[in-house]
Amino acid sequence: MPASSLLPRPTEAHATAGHFTLGPRTCLRIGEGAEPAARLLRTLLAPATGLPLHPADDATVTLTLDRTLTDLGDEGYGLTVAPQAVLLRAAQPTGLLRGVQTIRQLLPPPALAASPQRGVRWSLPCVEITDVPRHRWRGAMLDVARHFQPVSYLRRYVDLLALHKINVFHLHLTDDQGWRMPVAAYPKLTEVGGLRARPDGAPHGGAYTRSELAGLVAYAAERGITVLPEIEMPGHVRAALAAYPHLGNRPDRALDVWTRWGVCDTVLGVHEEVFDFCRTVLEEVMDVFPSPYVHIGGDECPVTEWEESPQARACAREAGLSGPAALHGWFLGRVGAFLVRNGRRPVGWAETGTELPDGFTVLAWRDPAHARAAAARGHDVVNAHHRATYFDYPLSDGPQEPPGQPGAVVGLRDVHAHDPVPAGADPDTAARVLGAQAQLWTEYAATPARLEYLTYPRLCALADRTWSGPTSWTDFRSRLDRHTARLDALEVSRHP
């Protein structure tokens, strides 16, 4: 396909005359450090094309690292396609991985298919590309706590993210309605917390093994994607308290895994055994997920149970706090400090932009002003404004839309117009905005087909905005119309 169809749009792309055609004799010249990119290129192209792409010193396709190309940063790349040769260069290995995805998009759409495609000429249009992302955090969150998805589907989700140069896969592993990550010291978290009753009485549940999660992390890393784990606390913990009631504020109370949506009023207690639990869980999380960031939730935490608990009130007094409500920041501060001591950066959802402790990276979802306020306080910020990034919201308000998360419609144009840097931010504040990410909460999305219908093409718009910066609506729509053929080749669902 022509370079004018690339999505996200490259920083610079100049078409030249001719094509380069890959065939059974096409080989790869693999520079030092370029082996992961060569392996990925083979892996991605083999199912449809059958091309072996063997290594050879006199090959016509060259993948190489050039550390002097510092202007390309960690993820940028340069790609030259000429009639007789292809050259992919980058300063860092991740840049080569991004370039591989561009090569995939330049090929005819059947190259993305999962089965052999006959009678296709595997040609690349001649082009000169220099490409560097605008924002360093380009994320997508998938909630597997409300509706569990098998790890095989998570790998497909990663593949689709990688095609669009998304670099953070935020995995929402725990909530009131389910706990999906095994913790050796607390087996009931998945045995009890991983299973709930559906409204019709049928069970719903599932949990990943440690091996499955580690394998997913490796799979994503091979595609240049970091898996960001999220373990919710101190609210959104009903599933954990169903497994271990003594971690709550009423240890004599038996709880089920929550079967409703919304915000549950059960929260963790503030006694030392709770912090032992949090540390143990997070130690296991850090063992499995090498991500420099660990998300610990933090939002929608009712304080009613703390206000009613003599133990929590006493804890607030001993800590010199103004009252039980202040235990929220105190709790997150303690857990965040533990992560920092272990070389990780705590991440949390922001209700106002000013309530999370120092050192937290903030996902601001309620209002763009909260992103600006958090950055002004010195937080690094990811703009996750719900009116532009919540893909569980309907795409339109038409009657063809199935029931979904109540709230504002998030149309394709809303996502495309979403600037990660909030209006009114001064240069210092803007510099703290890392980027943006999409959210797909799954109260009303249980199947892979539904997930993909909600995600695409809206994620295409977010990917374009966070990688390319502002593009005209007409330009984006023109490229998206051509890109749809790629989504069709990948069998991405267009129907709810």
pLDDT digits 0-9 by tens, 429-460: 999 999 999 999 999 999 999 999 999 999 99
What is the full per-residue pLDDT of the chain (496 aa) written as tens digits? 677 899 999 999 999 999 999 999 999 999 999 999 999 999 999 999 999 999 999 999 999 999 999 999 999 999 999 999 999 999 999 999 999 999 999 999 999 999 999 999 999 999 999 999 999 999 999 999 999 999 999 999 999 999 999 999 999 999 999 999 999 999 999 999 999 987 777 889 999 999 999 999 999 999 999 999 999 999 999 999 999 999 999 988 999 999 999 999 999 999 999 999 999 999 999 999 999 999 999 999 999 999 999 999 999 999 999 999 999 999 999 999 999 999 999 999 998 989 999 999 999 999 999 999 999 999 999 999 999 999 999 987 665 566 666 668 999 999 999 999 998 899 999 999 999 999 999 999 999 999 999 999 999 999 999 999 999 999 999 999 999 999 999 999 987 7
**69 with 91: CB under 8 angstroms?**
yes
Tokens of 319: 């800590």
Domain range annotation of the chain: 3-131, 137-489
Provide the phi-psi class of 469: left if phi over 0, else alpha when psi is between -120 and 50, else beta. left
CATH 3.30.379.10 assigned to 3-131: yes
CATH 2.40.110.10 assigned to 137-489: no
Query: How far is CA 412 from each of CA 448, 461, 493, rounded to the nearest angstrom?
Result: 20, 7, 16
Tokens of 478: 């023109």
Q: How far apart are the C-alpha atoms of 283 and 342, rounded to whole Å?
A: 9
Could you read off the pLDDT of 275-329 as tens digits, one per residue?
Answer: 999 999 999 999 999 999 999 999 999 999 999 999 999 999 999 999 999 999 9
Max distance between CA atoms of the chain, in angstroms, equals 77
The contacts found for 316-322 with CB under 8 angstroms, 24 or more apart, are none
Active site amino acids: 175, 236, 300
Check: pTM over 0.95? Answer yes or no: yes
